[in-house]
Structure 1
């Protein structure tokens, strides 16, 4: 029987507890899960590609399953195929995510219909978490401990201080 390989792509800037939930659950659905760390040209990342890859590698190290972290800068369908993946796993927080993901999945099927997309609903307690909001809360001096691991919290807060991003409270 062929190995079932899945890809969970994202920018992970930073990786959140919501991402960790999808990674842990997604790893149970496939024999090997590739966490694909990419740069979204529409976003301006707080962390470099290498920093985000290292952050994700560290955070997933204790999870069960064969989970590998790979950086990529190409079309998702090309990346999935290069990794031998037949499945892309996407997390959905709500209706807005679904509309975007539905459109993206349709486009991806036009590019490569050999790769299926599986949607996983985020855990109810984690649904509001978004990396963009985590960064915004940190910039304004808010506590992000409920949304990320302690190590990621420290890294985000250090980056905010380092870049002089701390806003007025």
Structure 2
């Protein structure tokens, strides 16, 4: 190739809140792509802990420097349609999915198959979580934090401060 084409990856999720597990996937994804788009899913039936704008702010604050270290640009957006539709709209060729365990793999394989049929030009890439972050889920972080537990081992400091503010007693 005479001209370098920017490789765009998209990583979608609720990021409610951003965890060290998400950050682990972001770091790996930035090594694969020139541009990483973090896409916060907005679902009308769900009541998230953090508003979409708060989640976008956390993503930019925490993941922006990580992307810069890996020489990737980072964008954070919201979406309310299919992730594959958003990926096509943004010109992404990679759909990033993090895997913690075999349960994740079973579900993600089904999704990859469906997405591959809907958009054959977009490749799903599975990134295994590092052993230290495998047990972390945003759901468990929310539950532990809401009950006064210490989640400092599971989230970046910037997110911990927001969780502490959210659950002040």
TM-score normalised over the length of structure 2:
0.90
Match of 1:124 among 109, 124, 131: 131
State the match for 2:59 in structure 1.
56
* Count, aligned residues: 162
2:40 aligned to 37, 40, 61, which one? 37
Residue 10 of structure 1: aligned partner? 13
Please report how far the alpha carbon of residue 157 of structure 1 lies from its aligned counterpart in structure 2 after TM superposition.
2.2
- 1:21 partnered with 2:17: no
User: Who is 1:137 aligned against?
Assistant: 144
Q: What's the TM-score once normalised by structure 1's chain length?
A: 0.90
Could you list the runs of 5+ residues in structure 2 that have no partner in the other structure?
none
Root mean square deviation, CA, Å: 1.5
Match of 1:112 in 2: 119
Equivalent residue in structure 2 for 1:84, among 81, 91, 108: 91
Task: Summarize deviations over 1:81-113 as a string: whole Å, max 9, x none.
Answer: 111101101000001111111111122122211
Asked whether the 8 Å contact 2:58–2:158 carries over to 1, the reply is: no
Contact 1:11/1:40 (8 A) holds in 2: no
